[in-house]
Amino acid sequence: MTAPAASIIVPSYRGAERLPRLLDSLAAQEPGAPAFEVVVVVDGVDDGSVALVEAEDRFEARPLLLPRNEGRVTALNTGFAAARGEVLIRCDDDLRVPPTFVASHVGAHADAAVRGELIGVVGLTRDMHDDAPYARAYGRDAGARSHAAARACPDDALWRHWAADCSIARAVWERVGPYDSAYRAYGWEDVDYGWRLHAAGVRLVRVSGADAEHHGPARTAVARASKAFASGSARAAFARLHPDAPLAPPRAGEGVWGALVGAVARTHRTPEHVARSARLVDRVLGRVPRPVGTKLVALVVEGAGLAGATAPAPPDRPAASSSGRPRVVIAHDYLTQRGGAERLVLSICRAFPDAEIHTLFYEPSQTYPEYRDRVIRTSPLDRIGPLRRDPRLALLMLAPAASRMRIDADVVVASSSGWAHAFPTTGRTLVYCHSPARWLYLPEDYLGQAGPLDPKRLVLMVLAPLLRRWDRRAALRAHGYLANSSVVRERIRRVYGLDASTLFPPFSPDVADGPQETIGELAGWAGPDGSAGGHDLVVSRLQPYKNVDRVIEAFRAMPERRLLVIGRGPEGERLRALAPENVRLVEGLSDAQMRWAYAHATSLIAASHEDFGLTPLEAGAHGVPVVALRAGGYLDTVREGTSGVFFTEETPEAIVAAVRELEERGPWSRAAIRAHVEAFSEERFIAALRQAVEEL
């Protein structure tokens, strides 16, 4: 499908009655409006909203139903992550937008792009009240004052009005990251995001053509005061998270009125207290003079807001350590190879430069040299050389060994494909999951062509039931779960019943930047002295499920092309025997040699069912397009037509056809490929990971 110019993300909870007004107004956009899609995130309760959105045929719309009520932040982050447009518009389900809505948002970003600028666009909203005692006494005037204040707000304070109607470019979302899940109740998750945009140097602008009607303001004193209390609590959380933000401390004011507000705040310490008083106000509003009713509502609303802002922090919020930071330890299954997971741990190390690493095995000669500068603690099994060099030989002992890897830390960040999530700790565990253990839940991927009497298959048949129970208990003890891709997130939900957040791994700057060194053993094959390049490339562990043999067979049918395979693994000997003259297999390359291999490649061939497609990002950092299997993590990291092409079957014939297609659709824009890859930068990953640790 062609990506639309804009995605409109609509978080909705029990919104079936509100959505038709919004959808009708979106269908009435002015002729020639940019193409857009609407993503409605139904927050855990389907009251008919899903069918309503599915029936929409006036524009492209799709519902996303969360498995349970998660709150507005999760709904927003889910919608933004699923959006396909280049302009991402946040829109509440109780708005009626003008015919100029989409064009105004998209046009403002287009004008900014011409200037080489990234901006945030704010459309103001105006409360629409039905005639009722609350509206006459307080709601209409309060809404009008709020709208006038927003219109008069200077640009450098516009972050305070980042809310129901606003937009950013995709590049800004990828740079600033998701909404902060620290905000659970009503309010301030938007203000928080506005401040983060402001702090990141993104200029916020008002665009009047995007202004909308707000048809969901509070209708009673109870509703307004309850929101004020929740908003006050969220305001306090914002102040704790952003002490540098220019935010005046909450206060009751001066004089008699201030004393009254302070007294109400001191006696309204819970939402129940607030609701009880506000109900009394609602009962008398139609019976007292309007000025009296106005003061009564104002008193309970201001008192509730002050009470929420000055209430003690939630009891589960840990006190700051003496250094102001938690003590973080990094856990990983084992450091015995040069793979994507091991490179990912180096990025985690850059996020927490003082953290120790705890792992079952560490073999310096087989993994990245940067680990030699870290403090690494291993299990007793590490003393046994053959096991250290090939941890698969220790399968019978790994679960008991993992269960004894006790770690003293405030937070353990566990990079896990099966073992590190089980390391016990005195603090909390945040699991960064590359996949639930393949040998337990995807055994055929792990065993490959192993026969029915193969020792590995027989051992797994015996151990798998016990290991699954052990593995699930370990997973459910964790305090937070992050999935490295959409595929893994769904696998975690299926295997453990957990709803993990998705945090894509970064491509390592070590792969993209730095000196290059030719690969001596390719002299005479890769041009004079190995310096010419022009090869197609596979970077993969040589495991059965990686389908490297299928790629080699494909290049047997293309003798005019050259294929360079970089990797090691149990399939290495068989694949070398299989390789024709135009295919070379190498292993143990330095980073400088890897940079040369990527930089001089014509394409990267990625033919396996990956949990996350990291190698396309490494190739993309050099502007190299990708031929990828249309499956798994490659759907997250390859943008068809921009950074590569897909094939649908892992057969030599399909790979040949895709390589020919890539060649026919060239030349490929290296600049566009690099721009796509920037969304997966290490800076974005580190910021999001640190935030997740702070939340724990």
Residue 401 class from Cβ within 10 Å (0-12 exposed, 13-18 middle, 19+ buried)? buried
pLDDT of residue 57: 92
Q: In the predicted model, is pLDDT for residue 144 greater than 70?
A: yes
Tokens representing residue 680 in the block: 């997966």
Instruction: Identify the band that residue 526 occupies on the pLDDT scale cut at 50, 70 and 90.
Output: low
302 vs 294: CA distance, rounded Å: 12
Q: Which own/partner contact pairs does 496-504 have at CB distance under 8 Å and 24+ positions apart?
A: 496/436, 496/472, 499/67, 499/68, 499/70, 500/433, 501/77, 501/181, 501/692, 502/81, 503/432, 503/685, 503/688, 503/689, 503/692, 504/612, 504/636, 504/637, 504/680, 504/685
Instruction: Identify the band that residue 208 occupies on the pLDDT scale cut at 50, 70 and 90.
Output: very high
Is 447 within 8 Å of 457 (Cβ atoms)?
A: yes
Nearest to 328 by CA among 405, 407, 408, 410: 410
CB atoms under 10 Å from CB of 244, counted, come to: 7
Q: Mean pLDDT for the chain? A: 87
Strands of 95-96's sheet in order across: 95-96, 212-214, 125-127
pLDDT digits 0-9 by tens, 381-405:
988 989 998 888 888 899 999 999 9
Instruction: Identify the band that residue 522 occupies on the pLDDT scale cut at 50, 70 and 90.
Output: confident
The gap from C-alpha 287 to its chain's centroid, in whole angstroms, comes to 52
Averaged over 676-682, what is the pLDDT? 85
With a pLDDT cut of 90, the percent of the chain lying above it is: 48
Nearest to 474 by CA among 349, 333, 573: 333
Q: Which own/partner contact pairs does 453-457 have at CB distance under 8 Å and 24+ positions apart?
A: 456/392, 456/395
Q: CB neighbours of 204 closer than 8 A, spacing ≥ 6?
A: 119, 120, 121, 122, 155, 158, 159, 162, 194, 197, 198
Map residue 60 onto helix, strand or coil.
Answer: strand
Q: In the predicted model, is pLDDT for residue 1 greater than 70?
A: no
Query: Which segment, 158-167, 220-229, 438-447, is predicted with the most confidence on average?
Result: 158-167
Nearest to 601 by CA among 541, 676, 659: 659
State whether CATH 1.10.10 applies to domain 328-502.
Answer: no
Is 184 within 8 Å of 211 (Cβ atoms)?
A: no
ω into residue 559 within 30 of 0, thus cis?
no
Tokens representing residue 319 in the block: 């006190």
- Crossing angle for the helix pair 19-27 and 101-114, nearest 10 degrees? 60
Instruction: Identify the band that residue 632 occupies on the pLDDT scale cut at 50, 70 and 90.
Output: confident
pLDDT of residue 510: 67
Instruction: Identify the band that residue 678 occupies on the pLDDT scale cut at 50, 70 and 90.
Output: confident
Compute CA distances 31 → 87, 99, 261, 370, 636, whole Å. Answer: 19, 9, 51, 58, 33
Nearest to 348 by CA among 417, 430, 403: 430
Q: In the predicted model, is pLDDT for residue 106 greater than 70?
A: yes
Q: In the predicted model, is pLDDT for residue 315 greater than 60?
A: no
Alpha helices in 404-447 (DSSP H): 438-441, 443-447
Is 330 within 8 Å of 342 (Cβ atoms)?
A: no
- Among the four given CATH numbers 3.40.630.10, 3.90.550.10, 3.40.640.10, 3.50.50.60, the one describing domain 6-217: 3.90.550.10
Least confident of 202-206, 322-326, 576-580, 671-675: 322-326
Least confident of 254-263, 442-451, 496-505, 551-560: 442-451
Q: In the predicted model, is pLDDT for residue 157 greater than 70?
A: yes
Tokens representing residue 225 in the block: 């005061």
541 vs 331: CA distance, rounded Å: 22
Strand-pairing partners, residue 282, are none
Nearest to 36 by CA among 117, 102, 96: 102
252 vs 143: CA distance, rounded Å: 21
Nearest to 633 by CA among 621, 616, 657, 653: 616
Compute CA distances 40 → 70, 90, 418, 420, 517, whole Å. Answer: 14, 10, 35, 37, 50
Averaged over 455-478, what is the pLDDT? 81
Q: In the predicted model, is pLDDT for residue 333 greater than 80?
A: yes
Half-sphere exposure (Cβ direction) of 465: Cα atoms closer than 13 Å: 2
Q: CB neighbours of 323 closer than 8 A, spacing ≥ 6?
A: none
**What are the φ/ψ torsions at residue 502 (nearest 5 degrees)?**
-100, 125
The kind and range of the H/E element at 539 are strand 535-539
Query: Which segment, 445-454, 462-471, 625-634, is predicted with the most confidence on average?
Result: 625-634
Least confident of 78-92, 304-318, 330-344, 653-667: 304-318
Averaged over 151-155, what is the pLDDT? 88
414 vs 689: CA distance, rounded Å: 12
**What are the φ/ψ torsions at residue 137 (nearest 5 degrees)?**
-80, -35
Averaged over 329-355, what is the pLDDT? 91
Is 359 within 8 Å of 420 (Cβ atoms)?
A: yes
Tokens representing residue 486 in the block: 């959409």
Look up residue 296 and give its amino acid: L
Q: In the predicted model, is pLDDT for residue 511 greater than 80?
A: no
Structure-model confidence comparison of residues 612 and 628, the more confident one: 628
Query: What is the sign, positive or negative, of the torsion defined by CA atoms of 235, 239, 242, 245?
Result: positive
Instruction: Identify the band that residue 530 occupies on the pLDDT scale cut at 50, 70 and 90.
Output: very low
Q: In the predicted model, is pLDDT for residue 502 greater than 60?
A: yes
Residue 543 class from Cβ within 10 Å (0-12 exposed, 13-18 middle, 19+ buried)? middle
Which of the 8 DSSP states describes residue 179?
P
Least confident of 218-227, 283-292, 450-459: 450-459
Which of the 8 DSSP states describes residue 288?
S
Q: What is the fold, at CATH topology level, of the domain defined by 515-680?
A: Rossmann fold (3.40.50)
pLDDT digits 0-9 by tens, 234-262:
888 888 888 888 887 887 778 888 888 88
pLDDT digits 0-9 by tens, 23-76:
999 999 999 999 999 999 998 878 889 999 999 999 999 999 887 777 888 889
pLDDT of residue 4: 93
Q: In the predicted model, is pLDDT for residue 288 greater than 50?
A: yes
pLDDT of residue 532: 54
Look up residue 93 and give its amino acid: D
Is 655 within 8 Å of 630 (Cβ atoms)?
A: no
- The pTM (predicted TM-score) of the whole model is 0.48
pLDDT digits 0-9 by tens, 544-600:
889 999 999 999 999 999 999 999 888 999 999 999 999 999 998 888 899 999 999
Instruction: Identify the band that residue 321 occupies on the pLDDT scale cut at 50, 70 and 90.
Output: very low
